[in-house]
Structure 1
Amino acid sequence: MKQIRYFNLLTLIVLLINSSCKKDDVSRNDFTGRYDLTENSITQGSSRTYEINIRRSSQGNDQVIIENFYGAGITVNATLSNTRITIAEQESGNFILQGIGALNGSELTLTFDVETKGTSIIDYCTATGTRK
């Protein structure tokens, strides 16, 4: 279990270093749209593909909504900061989730964990995809 947490920490550091090296002024419009994601589950040792949609939120200029997160038809809220996206811990559907990500051109990278409510099962995932 510690190896999974170290992997997530290492992934976070790489994402932050990569995005902090860029001085691009990225707007919410750069994030919005449909993405084909390939998700790798560290917990399950498997991968799958699905589509998400990122759209503007009415909650603020730095807020977006991600539809079909985790390929489970759930909707989550996220906060943007330049090329970074943060999914604060939240409940959606039958899940408790959180994560981070970065946008590099049209490629989105996400690192997140999803816990199924009522269980102690946590799925640690990374996903990458390109805007359609």
Structure 2
Amino acid sequence: MELNLFFKSIIDQDLCPIVVCDTKHTIIYMNPKAISNYEKRGGVSLVGKSLLGCHNPNSAFKISEVLHWFNDSKENNIIHTFYDEKNNKDGYMVALRDNDGKLIGYYEKHEYRNKDNQPFYSFG
């Protein structure tokens, strides 16, 4: 079975929105949570468009700066980009690299900090 199917499934099952971009900031993939989360901004139609167009000029500049930082060193791979107190979540940009460590893109991921109150191993 193709390994990429496993990675896609991991991303698709994540409860947080994940947006994957190439090094030109083109959105190449959005997981189902991102598609529904950004439905009012275009949802799946955002794939193929620039992520920078989805942000204000200040945020777009910061995203570009992070991409330069990722390019500066193979050790620069994750950066905390914001905390949203209202929704109790953090935002991150994470570098994506090929087998040689060359930067091939990045993804934005949100992590919610609210306690999960589901019972452990609840199959219901």
TM-score, normalised via structure 2 length: 0.33
More helix by share: 2
More strand by share: 1
Larger radius of gyration: 2
